[in-house]
Structure 1
Amino acid sequence: MTEINFLHNNSQDQTFLLLGFQGLYSYRFLVFAIFIIVYILILCGNVLIILVIVSNRLQHSPMYFFLCNLSLLEIVSTTEIIPAILQILLRNGIRLSLFGCLAQLYFIGSFSTTESFLLTVMSYDRYLAICRPLHYSSVMHFRFCCYFVLASWISAFLIVFVVIGFLSQQDFCRQINTIDHFFCDFIPVLGLSCSDTSTVKMTIYLLSPLSIISPFLLITMTYVFIIRSVLNIQSVTGKKKAFSTCSSHLTVVCIYYITLFMVYVVPTNDRSLQANKILSLLYTVITPILNPFIYSLNNREIKTGINLSLNWKIKRKIKSQNNFG
């Protein structure tokens, strides 16, 4: 009986060469330092938000519970991408096995899909808070929020697993497959296949509405109702207060989906490979570093929590110095 493997036996020795940023080779140490700083800022910013939410006991509030999960997602997703980018910069490209390339593709795709689902859940939370405030506490209880988040993670990983399962059955004719990108992405990997890709493409076309288009449409629909409800509020103060509760989320949604649509939905025939890399950097690296600043600057509770944490540390330091003196 033939052993069934996840990958074909004849593709075990195949290698995928990620070229990364060949045009920046002369400045690779400078770019390396920039990515190190960006990575540290992403980690510190998102960890700070999680610590502020937990230390101030805000995690049982649906909005902050979802924000905590979003920050955790940003940490793990950038940890999957940026260390690989750093390796590419130091080595002027890295080699991955077929399994390694598909594994990277699986996790990056799963994290991106999870973010789409989490942003959708957060928009529904804002919709209930503004448009259905009397039903908010009865619907968005903590257990229901946990179900929402768990469903977002599990469904995202299952959807991408189906695509990777079909993609793993493809034959790649070359021993060394060159990808002019900084990570294994669906389109470049599929373009290297020398077998029939119709099944994989059909699977992507059927599942992409679930992972990108449907969440975007649901978010758009909720914000149509939110904007209509805000406009019906009589007082200017009430309008500002209602809008401030969803302005951060709306900003993140716009940044994330604009770049995501430009990479995967808009035709790429007239766009250069360098432009694709820049757009990919926007949703994989730039968005995670912007999220902590957007939520901390536009959210009163987060700013208050950060100030309280800083004041507590300062007081503790002064107290320890006085005791030492």
Structure 2
Amino acid sequence: MSSPNILHLNQSGPTEFVFRVFTTSPRIQALLFCFFLLLYVMIVCGNTTIICIVCTHNSLHTPMYFFLSNLSFLEICFTTTVVPLMLSNIFGAQKPILLAGCSAQMFIFLTLGGADCFLLAIMAYDRYVAIRHPLQYTLIMTQKQCTQLLVGSMSLALLLDLQLTVFICTLPFCGHILEINHFLRDAPPVLRLACGDIKIHQAILFMVGTLVLAVPFLLISISYIFIANTILRMQSAEGHWRTFSTCFSHLSVVLLQYGCTSLVYMRPRSSTSEDEDRKLTLIYTIAIPLLNPLIYTLQNKDFKDALKKSMSYERASENQ
């Protein structure tokens, strides 16, 4: 295990954390700040657009779009726990943050990420019911059932990640101010800074990662096996494509999300490096929330029609 980055080792006082800066070049710092700020604005605007369109069009008041709008809300909250703090640290003004603050961001980040994964599994179940049992769909996926599934996913993520956060943050840390080689307080980089034996903590992190990542991915895979079987039994080629197109957007997001997060949380620590983790974390904290609105809107005819209606209404209002 690599030795932790420690600043001011002999100072007494509570444990505090700072982030390692991306670069010390002022010009590159300015470019990075503008780049990440632009991406953050695009993420917020894109996902907010999805929420507004779903809320204002009765034709989209279905379980699929209910879950999609909540996924967009989670994406906004997820990136908001990361990007503003990252922007404030880009210019190298290292502001030490107490262990309690570190724990709070870690807990919120992990909980929202876990809820995101569970929600993707619920969306796969929704597509399974819609395609395999179309006549019973409205009876199974009632508003009450959808709300219970959503609350259940949030509660399960909160319970698992609260225990993980408390367990990690009770570790002994060597020194007063510790430097995290990352842009957020995630579990793997914080674990690297502990000065005690972390084998048990790594095992628990792997176990929680399995529950949050592997189990939902298994349920998603099973759902899509049944969906694929139903699609293949359709006689019409047009029916094949129309049915598959309702799942393509969700499947694309699943592969992107689970691919990156599995590499960060479920690989053996001996096979990972801090720089690799930073790059992968950038993808699933910024790139995927940015791509989600594009993936869902470009592949979804109903949503595109609703978006066109909203734009036409706005133009008509401006002309009056």
Q: TM-score, normalised by structure 2?
A: 0.92
CA–CA distance in 1 between the matches of 2:13 and 2:159?
24
Tell me which residue corresponds to 1:8. Answer: none
Partners in 2 of 1:23 and 1:122 — Cα distance?
Answer: 43
More moved, 309-318 vs 274-283: 274-283
Q: Report the AA paired with residue 194 of structure 2.
A: S
Note closer, same or farther for the CA distance 1:271–1:203 as it changes in structure 2 (3 Å cut): closer
Give the distance between the partners of 1:279 and 1:157, measured in 2 at CA. 23
Match runs of 1:96-111 below 5 Å: 96-111=97-112
Task: Quote how far apart the aligned CAs of 1:202 are.
Answer: 3.8
Instruction: Please say if residues 125 and 223 of structure 2, whose CA atoms lie closer than 8 Å, have aligned partners that are also in contact.
Output: yes
Alpha-carbon distance between aligned partners in 2 of 1:317 and 1:209, rounded to the nearest angstrom? 52
- Corresponding letter in the other structure for 2:143: F
Percent identity, aligned pairs only?
35
* Equivalent-residue separation in structure 2 for 1:161 and 1:273 (angstroms): 24
Preserved contact between residue 12 and residue 97 of structure 1 (Cα < 8 Å):
no
Q: Please, which runs of 5 or more residues in structure 2 have no aligned partner? A: 1-11
**In the alignment, is the contact (CA less than 8 A) between 1:32 and 1:89 conserved in 2?**
yes
Q: Structure 1 CA distance, aligned partners of 2:271 and 2:95? A: 28
1:175 aligns with 2:176: yes
Q: Which residue identity lines up with residue 243 of structure 1 in the other structure?
A: F
Paired with 1:30 and 1:135, the residues of 2 have a C-alpha distance of 53
Q: How many residues align?
A: 310
Structure 1: which 5+ residue stretches go unaligned? Answer: 1-10, 320-325
Instruction: Tell me the amino acid that sits aligned with residue 84 of structure 1.
Output: L
TM-score, length of structure 1 as denominator length: 0.90
Distance 1:88 1:108 in 2: 18
> Which amino acid in structure 1 is aligned with residue 319 of structure 2?
I
Report the secondary structure of 2:195's partner residue: coil
* 2:280 matched residue in structure 1: 279
- SS of the aligned residue for 2:206 comes to helix
CA contact (8 A) 2:16 2:176 kept: yes
Deviations 1:172-204, CA, capped at 9 Å, x for gaps: 121111111000111111121123434433432
Aligned to 1:5: none
After the TM superposition, which of the residue ranges 241-250 and 14-23 deviates more from structure 2? 14-23
Provide Cα deviations, 1:106-148, integer angstroms capped at 9, x if missing partner: 1111111000000000000001111222221111011000000
Deviations 1:75-122 (A, max 9, x none): 111111000110111235442211111111111111110000000000
Letter in 2 for 1:306: L
Q: Deviations over 1:29-68 (max 9, x none)?
A: 0110011110110111011000000110256310000001
Task: Give the equivalent residue in structure 2 for 1:6.
Answer: none
Deviates more, 1:175-184 or 1:269-278: 269-278
> Following the alignment from structure 1 to structure 2, what is the Cα–Cα distance between the partners of residues 207 and 40?
32
Match for residue 165 of structure 1?
166
- Kept in 1: contact 2:209–2:266 (CA 8 A): no
Which range moves more in the overlay, 58-67 or 68-77? 58-67
Partner of 2:7: none
In structure 1, distance between residues paired with 2:144 and 2:80: 29
Secondary structure (helix, strand or coil) at the match of 1:17 reads strand
The root-mean-square deviation of aligned C-alpha atoms, in Å, is 1.9
1:322 equivalent in structure 2: none
Alpha-carbon distance in structure 2 between the residues aligned to 1:108 and 1:24 = 29
Matches within 5 A, 1:243-262: 243-262=244-263
